[in-house]
Structure 1
Amino acid sequence: MSQAHAPRLLVVGANHRSASLSLRDQMFIDDAMVGAFLGGLKAAGLHEALVLSTCDRVEVWASHHDDDLCARLVAEAFAARTGLSPAALSGQLYEWAGPDAVRHVFTVTASLDSLVIGEPHVLGQVKTAHRLARDAGTVGPELETVLQAAYGAAKIVRSETRIGEGPVSIAAAAVQMAREVHGELGRAKGLLVGAGDMGELVAESLLAAGLSWLAVTAPRASRAETLAEALNAHVMPFETLREALAEADIVVCSMGGRTVQLTTDMIGAALKKRRRKPVFLVDAGIPGDIEPAVNRLDGAFLYDLSDLERVALEGRSGREQAARAARTVLDNEINGFLKGRAGRAAVPAIVALRQRFEESREAVLAEAGTDAALATRLLVNRLLHAPTEAMKGAAAEGAEWKAMEKTLKALFRLD
């Protein structure tokens, strides 16, 4: 890496590809600790930084004029947190600087560098990291400019591609299918039958997606009560299962007891009481808990784990195809941002050049008066004097002349 230059972006961290889960767990910084962590970096001399800490990655996004110093300060902070030496960490940390760091920030923010491509919560994680850094007083103009541009690019990727569409897990597939049956879940009631792990996972996803009400029932009342407390749900006595089925818009069964728990007759009777209002059923038991013939009932939509896995696989395939289009869109946004930034970087020099030319023009006019030929000859000579001397010196030394000659021809279109 280069040493001293104008402040620019730097990323130092570890993710699911570079480091083990155990190391990332050691590096993880929860929201309550972010302020102290950033305060330590600020005290060490790094005044513009944020920390992005998720299950996939722990990274510092910073701006500094010295890449090597910035990387060392961040590595030392991570080493102090993990109790490891910076040397022990070095093989599992990556560093990106300048345009490469900008590309990384854009890619992460657009959720194209995650374990699950296209997950919308990644953008929220970045915005939370931004807010915490702002609260800690470590967001400056460099970070702010890059982040705002990354947010805009992520929005364009979402609007112009299908990167966020399609479920990628069994639980997400269950949520999607439930929405296809009932629309938004805010008015739906759910029933979890049994206390199996997969049923709990599906129930959690349904609640996170907006399910308004959930009851839990199981043969062992104590197990149902424990699970209901964890899910912030209601408890229904197992003896009232038939009555509970009639009230439920969504039923998740996760008993796995090698016997059918919900029969065609039971679901048929529930549908009759519901006046054929549809019911979505998830058979999360291994082996299955719901009689397959339930799917032949009008108004019953039954999905077992194989069905949901198939939907999830289709979602993953769709996202992989969309990811290619998303990367093309994102590349255009990144290149546009970098070109715009490079153009803005030239503005101070252009302003200074114009000012020097204007000063020379005024001096020549004062000296030449109304003699236009003399004025123009003097102006050309004065404007070319300093560049001519610099070019002669560079040509004499040899090393820089070829690059200077190429730049000169490009600037004045001498070819």
Structure 2
Amino acid sequence: MSPAVASPRLTVIGANHRSASLGLRDQLFVDDAASADFLVDLKRRGLHEALVLSTCDRVEVWASHVDADAVHGQVAESLAARTGMPVAALSGQLYRHDGPDAVRHCFAVTASLDSLIIGEPHVLGQVKAAHRLARDAATCGPELEAVLQAAFNAAKRIRSETRIGEGPVSIAAAAVQIARDLHGDLSRCTALLVGAADMGELVVESLQAAGIGRLLVTAPRASRAEALAVTLNANVVGFDTMRDSLADADLVVCSVGTRAITVTAEMMNAALKKRRRKPIFVVDAGIPGDVEPAVNRVDGAFLYDLADLEKVALEGRSAREQAARAAWAMLEDEVGGFLRGRAARVAVPAIISLRQRCDEIRDGVLAENPANADEATRLLLNRLLHAPTDVMKSVAADGPEWQAMEKTLRKLFRLD
């Protein structure tokens, strides 16, 4: 029998909205144009199966390798190189998942159960885009492909069998309805997106689907704004000139989430004076909020945060939490099925070798006793059990391993 070969295991290394600051995530961010070089760098370090998922919430590498510790070191070095920081400086803000925990994490991310806003509908699209980029870079091998396909199927099942996606979608729909109530025909309106967090993008995508006439985007980091402008087919305006851009906007969607106020009441009052008090609808989609609450007291400004939009949409937090519980139960079922299937596949080579060895012994016995079935079967059993019996006696004599071996033996042959 051939010696056992170590099987590749899934490993995830990354930083997300819970583990790292927005500033660090901005430094780690890998846009589509840079992903090919990043994946080539990982391949040069020995990771031939790898995917990079980079959003405003997270920057993660999903990799399949026989040595999880080596993967962690190589990915950490690649991420540190993007920031110009030593690896040690990142260690407290990076997380790691291996084996079944990594599979569960990937399924949860794909199904939008690990998002800042549970149920975000476009997370699945982000994972699929990362998948395409990995395939284009020839870093999506069979092990990673199997995990991704299973994760896509799990996400599809959760979307079709629960209401997990209705909360965020209804928030965006509420924003569109309020915008129409305030401005009427949206094709004559200009929207300004401030920041690149996912919820703001979701609201703007709904506004575009509703026919918004013009879209401007800005962000603290110019490269993020430029990448978003390409995705949304929008025009970029400078973050330092945002005060002037506010006066051009009929709708402002703020989604920065830096724990600092981005739009103040003074800025909004100045913008409305330039607009001769033509109203501005402001959506504060930042978590935490980006807009000074006093904006709501400015004549002509209509400020709604995510909680306000939830009320308008009649979607309470309890309904989403109930859907999330059901979704997690489904996800655990999908993860368990996938892991059982992969484990069974790992056992196949050993099973084939065992059967081949038994066939060899059987052929030898039949050649020696072609006409005597009783004698042939007796010899066959003796020879099949000879080596296992010797090993069991030896292990039992040594002591410590026998209890585990006996338990496995009884389970393997159903002796109980």
Q: What range describes the TM-score normalised by the shorter chain of this pair?
A: 0.7 to 0.9
Pairs within 5 Å for 1:183-194? 189-192=186-189
- More deviation in 328-337 or 391-400? 391-400
Residue 70 of structure 1 pairs with residue 91 of structure 2 = no
Q: Distance in 2 between matches of 1:410 and 1:290?
A: 74
Residue 388 of structure 1 pairs with residue 409 of structure 2 = no
Quote the residue 1:286 is aligned against. 296
Contact 1:39 1:136 in 2 (8 A): yes
Quote the residue 2:209 is aligned against. 209
Q: Which amino acid aligns with 2:127?
A: V
Pairs within 5 Å for 1:217-366? 227=248, 286-287=296-297, 305=304, 308=309, 310-311=311-312, 314-366=315-367
Q: Does the residue aligned with 1:62 lie in a helix, a strand or coil? A: strand
Q: Distance in 2 between matches of 1:414 and 1:62?
A: 40
Q: Distance in 2 between matches of 1:414 and 1:346?
A: 21
Residue 119 of structure 1 pairs with residue 140 of structure 2 = no
Q: Does the residue aligned with 1:117 lie in a helix, a strand or coil? A: coil
Pairs within 5 Å for 1:123-134? 123-134=124-135
Quote the residue 1:156 is aligned against. 157
Quote the residue 2:240 is aligned against. none
Q: Which amino acid aligns with 1:286?
A: N
Give how far 1:318 is off.
2.8
Pairs within 5 Å for 1:144-183? 144-167=145-168, 172-175=173-176
Contact 1:5 1:65 in 2 (8 A): yes
Percent identity (aligned): 60
- More deviation in 304-313 or 379-388? 304-313
| Cα gap change, 1:62 to 1:189, in 2 (>3 Å) | same
Q: Does the residue aligned with 1:91 lie in a helix, a strand or coil? A: helix
Quote the residue 1:276 is aligned against. none
Give how far 1:286 is off.
3.0
Quote the residue 1:80 is aligned against. 81
Q: Distance in 1 between matches of 2:193 and 2:81?
A: 41
Unaligned runs of 5+ in 1: 182-186, 217-221, 232-253, 264-280, 292-302
Give how far 1:283 is off.
8.6
Give how far 1:196 is off.
11
Contact 1:48 1:64 in 2 (8 A): yes
Instruction: State the superposition RMSD in angstroms.
Output: 3.8
| Cα gap change, 1:304 to 1:59, in 2 (>3 Å) | closer
Give how far 1:256 is off.
5.6
Q: Distance in 2 between matches of 1:67 and 1:283?
A: 46
Contact 1:191 1:215 in 2 (8 A): no
Q: Does the residue aligned with 1:207 lie in a helix, a strand or coil? A: helix
So what's the TM-score if we normalise by structure 2? 0.74
Q: Does the residue aligned with 2:12 lie in a helix, a strand or coil? A: strand
Give how far 1:352 is off.
1.3
Q: Distance in 1 between matches of 2:366 and 2:139?
A: 51
Quote the residue 2:22 is aligned against. 21
Instruction: Report the count of equivalent residues.
Output: 349
Unaligned runs of 5+ in 2: 217-242, 253-269, 284-294
Q: Which amino acid aligns with 1:356?
A: R
Q: Which amino acid aligns with 1:334?
A: V
Quote the residue 2:141 is aligned against. 140
Residue 94 of structure 1 pairs with residue 115 of structure 2 = no
Give how far 1:89 is off.
1.1
- More deviation in 150-159 or 70-79? 70-79
| Cα gap change, 1:175 to 1:346, in 2 (>3 Å) | same
Quote the residue 1:49 is aligned against. 50
Q: Distance in 2 between matches of 1:117 and 1:203?
A: 15
| Partner deviation per Cα, 1:306-333 (whole Å, 9 max, x = no partner) | 8645226735443222111111111111
Q: Which amino acid aligns with 1:153?
A: A
| Cα gap change, 1:206 to 1:407, in 2 (>3 Å) | closer
